[in-house]
Structures are given as C-alpha cells and as structure tokens.
Amino acid sequence: MKNLFTLFLTVFLITSCTEDNSPEGVLIRVENGSAVDFKDILISSGSTPIEFGDISAGQRSDYKEFESAYRYGFVSLLANGKELRMQPYDYVGETPLSKGYYTYKLNLDTSDPNNPHLTLDLLIVN
C-alpha cells in the first residue's frame, strides 16, 4: 500500500509540475523598429482598441491579449510630435490569427520628411 501511495504521489507531482506555455488567446506586443520614440500607441485589430503607451526607439512592449486580431490593424501614435495613423478598410476575407504570441513591428518611413508614414510587419513568435 505504501508503494502504491508513493507511486501515485510521484506521478501527481511530475504531472502537476509540467509547465504549459501555450497561450490561451492572441497575445500581441509592439516593437518600435525605427530610430524615433513612439508615444501614446493605440492598436486595434478587429477588436477593442488597446493602449500600449510609449515605446522608445528599438524597444518592445509587453504582450497584451486581444479578443481577436489579424495580421494588420489600426494604429495611432505620436512620433516627433506628429500624430500618425494606419487605418485598414476592413478584414473581409482575412483569417483571424490563431492563439499564440505575435509582434507588430512598427517602422517609421521618413524618406519624404514632408510625408512620414508608418509600416507594420507581423512577426510570429511561436
């Protein structure tokens, strides 16, 4: 009986200590891929807008959970004192992202100083 209890306890401890790193939803972080600091970042990708705050040049935010998301989305931020936005028309025909970890990498194209614009690349983390 003692051996059976020891076996049960060992199996229980091994299985309860197994760490499951699978996300429960769509988790997105924002990476600033430019040389300019971004302020007041707001992202929406088919769900309620989520604030990411300020992200310095070359830095990343923490992950935030989205109800649903797509490979692109609405972005609003301040860069060099200018408000910049990206606005998708719709998500018709797009496949929602599956559960997992993703990075929206934002870049600021300043090749035309009179017309800076944002680009967004989706990076799949897992």
- How does DSSP classify residue 94? P
Q: Report how far residue 72's alpha carbon sits from residue 95's, in angstroms, rounded to the nearest whole number.
A: 11
User: Is CATH 2.60.40.2890 the classification given to domain 23-124?
Assistant: yes
Domain locations in the chain? 23-124
Q: What is the pLDDT of residues 91-115, one digit of tens each?
A: 899 999 999 999 999 999 888 888 8
Beta-sheet strand order (sheet of 117-124): 64-66, 26-32, 100-109, 117-124
pTM for the model = 0.79
